[in-house]
Structure 1
Amino acid sequence: MEKYRVPAEWERHYGTITTYPQAYETFFDRLENAKNTFVQMIKLIAEGEKVFINVNDENTREELENKLKKADANQKNIQIFINPTNDAWCRDYCPIFVKNSQIKALKFRFNAWGNKYPYQLDDKAGRKITEFLRIDRIDIDMVLEGGSIDINGKGCLITTESCLLNPNRNPDMSKEEIEKALKKYLGVEKILWLGEGIVGDDTDGHVDDITRFVKEDTILTAIERDKSDPNYEPLMENFNRLKSFTDTSGKPFRIITLPMPDPVYYRYPHKDEEERLPASYANFYITNKYVIVPVYNCKQDEVALDIIQKIFPDRKVVGLYAYDIVVGLGAFHCLTMQVPA
């Protein structure tokens, strides 16, 4: 296979792939609100790039078109495909797009975060989308979710041991074999390993909820200041690891810290008590024009937005209230996958 690389998310996009929230079993009584938040997100993305949306059927397509029209979204930049899915989190079942002189789609296997939920439609939809977009696809016999890795576009990839080394993903692969595969397929030279993710994250610790590359030499990472909070220790341990990491030329990264929001809870209909949700500001999505950040109506919102705005002076940072989306255990980054220009 010829040498490709994964562009960083802040590099120019051709467009964004996403999936309309449709499953009651994901969003429960917040589904209608989640759909409306989704439409706000699409309106923003479509101002600066194309948006490709998966829906289950013709009725859902009509419903979504009506909502987009009502929101005055730029429909010239929006294409809706009937491409049935189990769930909305297309970051994880979409291909990862690589480029050199052309764009290719690497379709890794998807098993719903270690066989936790039904996933056959998702895995199929991830392949089908490449046919709609007419992008050549390479199928890879390895489980890998897009939200489990982050890449700086200059040879470094960051991930977590709790997710990529979990036996529910690739039980027959050692850490060394996983590293070798990531380097081979994604064109990276260096793998940076963090420990665990945050409480409430059913993906076994996706890195896009905690730590993100924001420039080639800069990493933004969530930390919890309250020592009694269960997120305090794992996030502090990750922060300490980050301070020892270097890029491909041996230079340390600049590390910027991001606060955690106040704990966010939801009582699922089939549960006896409220559960903590994986609410984080790190699950933002970088578009050509905006950085779309999940916010939770708490005092840390403004602090987080200000930190992120300083990092991206060429884009407008927009906070969207994300509670109804996070009930489904993801946020705006989980909902999207960028296609490079």
Structure 2
Amino acid sequence: MHVMKHFSPDDSTPRDLGFAMPAEWEPHAATWMSWPADDDLWFGHLEGVRGEFAGLVSTIARFEPVHLLVRDDESEADARGRLEGVNVKFHRVPLDDVWMRDNGPIFVKRTGAGGRGDVALVNWRFNAWGGKFHWQNDDRVPEYVASTMNAGHWDMNIVLEGGGLEVNGAGVGLTTRSCFLTDTRNPGLTEEGYTYLLSDMLGVRKLLWLDGGLENDHTDGHIDTITRFTDERTIVTSVEPDVNDPNHAVMSRNLANLREMTDAGGQPFRIVELPLPAEYLEGAEGRLPPTYANFYIGNGFVVVPQYGDPNDARALEVLRPLFPGREVIGLPSRQIIEGGGSFHCVTQQQPAGTVWKGE
């Protein structure tokens, strides 16, 4: 395993030094995002996508600062024009696309006695979900973030996307075989290998596997499009009642498997069913994978994608009771989903805490 740990004098893993990936609902210092720029990647929908992005960034920035990566003069001018007066810091960075959940860093944190805790990051390789698109610029984003923050970090020569892993902050991780075990990511890396890797690097003591995700999801079935933790003991998972829908069998099997799974202490989880959008959405390359599970949790809020679908309101009704003390906000994502993802896919949280320099 090739590990370079900048600013750190030894070969300790994050776990060795007391770091672990915190749950998304833990306090944030900021949210990192990128601004959409390529009309071809959005199949001619860029203007509408940017409108929805502006709504998303503005909403998040009401609750916490947003770091926004922009790739060129046009992107920066467009973003500044739409986000005037919004709590955003702009960064000029070469970019291929906007899926910060997957190409950005994964932050880790250790909580000292009485302190807010140290924050560092892990820089995984990104190859656009197995080489499906250009990725070379996006793969460099974690190094930029680490440099900007002057943060200690581990550089891993292993492909891993943040959207492929859910954690509950109490030692449990959730993922899908359809994504992690593809031969276009890390050939030869087994379930057991991932278990050791995620234990060392992210503090995941128990890794749970579901079989697959949504039909025609170009990420090969990311967990964050179907099944999410809402607290340490609660999992919300997507269901499709139509037995003729290709998503029905996979979602039903996931639901049954989740009901048999236990947390790090051997206790069963509370499982809550979340509808998928009722209407079939067709994009430029076939069926789109709209989902309400791709929400993003921040300081005092949750933003939930909405599609102009009959199930939009129902999804909000299911999610609101799961996030007491947070404002659960539905925002339009009908244009963004044309690119294959939604709000969780385009965000990456930086936990609150003191930036660890690697001493």
**TM-score interval (norm. to shorter):** over 0.9
Q: Deviations over 1:248-276 (max 9, x none)?
A: 110000000000102443342xx6xxx11
Tell me the distance in 2 between the aligned counterparts of 1:181 and 1:58: 40
Give the 5 Å matches for 1:219-258: 219-258=235-274
Q: Within 2, Cα distance between the matches of 1:323 and 1:183?
A: 37
Aligned to 1:7: 22
1:110 to partner: Cα distance: 0.6
Q: Please, which of 305, 308, 311 is the counterpart of residue 316 of structure 2?
A: 305
Q: For 1:68-95, what per-residue CA distance to the aligned partner results, in whole angstroms no more than 9, with x for missing partners?
A: 12xxx53xx3101001111110100111
Q: Does the 8 A contact of 2:279 with 2:309 survive in 1?
A: no
Tell me which protein shows more helix as a share of its residues: 1
Q: Deviations over 1:180-205 (max 9, x none)?
A: 10111001110010000001200000
Distance (whole Å) between structure 2 residues aligned to residue 306 and residue 118 of structure 1: 38
Which one-letter code corresponds to 1:177 in the other structure? G
Moved more, 125-134 or 30-39: 125-134
TM-score by length of 1: 0.95
- Structure 1: how far apart are the matches of 2:60 and 2:207? 30
Please tell me whether the aligned partners of residues 36 and 75 of structure 2 are also in contact (alpha carbons under 8 angstroms): no
What TM-score results when the alignment is normalised by the length of structure 2?
A: 0.90
Question: CA separation in 2, counterparts of 1:165 and 1:185?
Answer: 18
Q: Tell me, yes or no, if structure 1 residue 320 matches structure 2 residue 303.
A: no
Question: Structure 1 pair 102/116, CA: closer, same or farther in 2 (3 Å)?
Answer: same
Query: Is 2:45 the partner of 1:35?
Result: no
Other-structure match for 1:95: 105
1:117 to 133, 144, 147: 133
Unaligned runs of 5+ in 2: 1-11, 111-116, 353-359
1:321 to 1:248, Cα distance in 2 relative to 1, 3 A: same
Preserved CA contact (<8 Å) 1:105 1:136: yes
SS in structure 1 opposite 2:74? helix
Query: Which of the residues 168, 183, 187 maps onto 1:167?
Result: 183
1-structure distance, mates of 2:65, 2:280? 32
Please tell me the residue identity of whatever aligns with 1:128: Y
Instruction: Report the 3-state secondary structure (helix = DSSP H, G, I; strand = E; otherwise coil) of the residue aligned with 1:49.
Output: coil
Give the letter aligned to residue 89 of structure 1: W
Q: How does 1:146-157 map to 2 (within 5 A)?
A: 146-157=162-173
Paired residue for 1:127? 143
Q: Is 1:212 aligned with 2:228?
A: yes
The aligned runs of 1:255-270 (5 Å cut-off) are 255-268=271-284
Q: How far did residue 285 of structure 1 move?
A: 0.5
Deviation at 1:22, TM superposition (A): 1.0
Match of 1:340 in 2: 351
Cα gap change, 1:151 to 1:84, in 2 (>3 Å): same
Query: 2:103, 2:161 within 8 Å by CA — same for their partners in 1?
Result: yes
Give the partner amino acid of 1:184.
D
- CA deviation profile, 1:25-53 (whole Å, cap 9, x unmatched): 32122111100100111111111111001
Structure 1 counterpart of 2:301: 290
Report sequence identity in percent. Answer: 40
For 1:286, the aligned partner's letter is I
2:287 paired residue number = 276
Query: Quick one: distance in 2 between partners of 1:117 and 1:291?
Result: 30
The 10-residue stretch of structure 1 (41-50 or 134-143) with the greater mean CA deviation from structure 2: 134-143
Per-residue CA deviation, residues 137-160 of structure 1 (Å, 9 max, x unaligned), is 210111100000000000000000
In structure 2, the residue corresponding to 1:327 is in which secondary structure?
helix
Distance in 2 (CA, whole Å) between partners of 1:267 and 1:308 is 27
SS of the equivalent of 1:294 reads strand
| Residues 123-132 or 301-310, more deviating | 123-132
- Matched residue count: 331
* Maintained 8 Å contact 2:176/2:212: yes
8 A Cα contact 2:103 2:142, kept in partner: yes
Q: 2:71 aligns with which of 53, 56, 62?
A: 56
The aligned amino acid for 1:135 is A
| Distance (whole Å) between structure 2 residues aligned to residue 32 and residue 266 of structure 1 | 19
State the Cα distance separating 1:167 from its structure 2 match: 1.1
Alpha carbons of 1:267 and 1:8: their partners in 2 closer, same or farther (altered >3 Å)? closer
Alpha-carbon distance change, 137 to 58 in structure 1, aligned in 2, over 3 angstroms: farther
Residue in 1 that maps onto 2:357: none
Q: Offset of 1:209 from its aligned partner?
A: 0.3
Structure 1 stretch displaced more, 120-129 or 9-18: 120-129
Residue 218 of structure 2 corresponds to 202
AA in 1 matched with 2:198: L
Q: Which runs of 5+ in 1 are unaligned?
A: none
| d(CA) in 2 for partners of 1:81, 1:118 | 21
Equivalent residue of 1:28, what SS? coil
Alpha-carbon distance in 2 for matches of 1:264, 1:63: 32
Which letter does structure 2 place at the counterpart of 1:20?
W
| Aligned residues of 2:105 and 2:141 also touching (Cα < 8 A) | no
